[in-house]
C-alpha cells in the first residue's frame, strides 16, 4: 500500500480545455493548478468560460483515474483483483450510487459554483461580472479552492456510501 501512495503522490495529470486555452495540472491526487494561455482570460465570454471549465473537469478526473488504475495494476499486478466486483450485489449497488453521486460547492468568494456527478459530469457557473472583478490569478485561485471543496464533498459522500453499501468505516483520526 505504501508504494501505491508514494506513486500517487508523484503522479501529475495534465489536461487542456477543448478550446486549448485553459490548462490544468493535478499533482499527487490533491493539488490543482489552473492556467490560461496568455491574454485569453479577459477574452472569454462568461458562458464560454463556464463551458470550457465544465469540460475540463472530466478530463482531469479521467486522467487521474487512469493513472491511479495503472499504478494499482503495476504494483498489485493481476493478483490485485481475484474476482469481479460485479459478482457481489452490494458492490454493484455501491458502484451505481457512486456514479450518480452529486458533489457541489461554491468558491470562497462565492463567484463560481460547481456541481459534479460522479466527478465525470461537471457543471460550472461563473457569477456575472466575476472576470471584471477578479484578476486572472485570483480567478485561478477561486477555481483551485472550488475544486478542493467539490472533491471534499465528494469524498465525504463516498464515505457515507461505503458505510451504507459495503459496511466500511473511515479510518479513525487521533
pLDDT for 2 equals: 86
Q: Is the pLDDT of residue 81 over 90?
A: no
- For the chain, the structural domain boundaries read 2-166
pLDDT for 87 equals: 75
Share of the chain above pLDDT 70, in %: 91
pTM: 0.86
Our CA dihedral for 137, 41, 108, 170, rounded to 10 degrees, sits at: -90
Q: What is the pLDDT of residues 19-40, one digit of tens each?
A: 999 999 999 888 899 999 999 9
DSSP H helical segments within the chain, as ranges? 2-10, 46-76, 89-99, 130-133, 136-161
The class level of CATH for 2-166 reads: alpha beta
Give me the chain's average pLDDT, please: 91
Q: Is the pLDDT of residue 49 over 70?
A: yes
Q: Is the pLDDT of residue 86 over 70?
A: no
Amino acid at each position: 500500500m505504501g508504494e501505491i501512495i508514494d506513486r500517487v503522490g508523484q503522479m501529475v495529470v495534465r489536461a487542456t480545455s477543448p478550446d486549448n486555452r485553459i490548462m490544468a495540472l493535478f499533482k499527487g491526487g490533491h493539488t490543482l493548478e489552473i492556467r490560461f494561455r496568455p491574454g485569453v482570460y479577459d477574452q472569454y465570454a462568461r458562458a464560454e468560460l463556464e463551458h470550457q471549465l465544465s469540460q475540463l473537469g472530466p478530463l482531469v478526473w479521467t486522467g487521474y483515474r487512469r493513472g491511479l488504475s495503472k499504478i494499482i495494476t503495476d504494483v498489485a499486478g493481476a493478483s490485485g483483483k481475484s474476482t469481479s466486483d460485479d459478482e457481489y450485489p452490494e458492490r454493484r449497488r455501491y458502484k451505481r450510487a457512486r456514479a450518480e453521486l452529486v458533489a457541489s460547492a461554491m468558491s470562497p468568494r462565492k463567484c463560481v459554483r460547481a456541481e459534479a456527478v460522479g466527478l465525470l459530469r461537471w457543471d460550472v457557473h461563473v457569477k456575472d461580472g466575476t472576470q471584471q472583478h477578479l484578476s486572472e490569478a485570483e480567478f485561478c485561485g477561486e477555481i483551485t479552492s472550488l475544486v478542493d471543496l467539490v472533491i471534499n464533498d465528494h469524498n465525504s459522500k463516498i464515505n457515507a456510501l461505503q458505510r451504507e453499501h459495503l459496511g466500511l468505516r473511515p479510518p479513525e483520526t487521533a
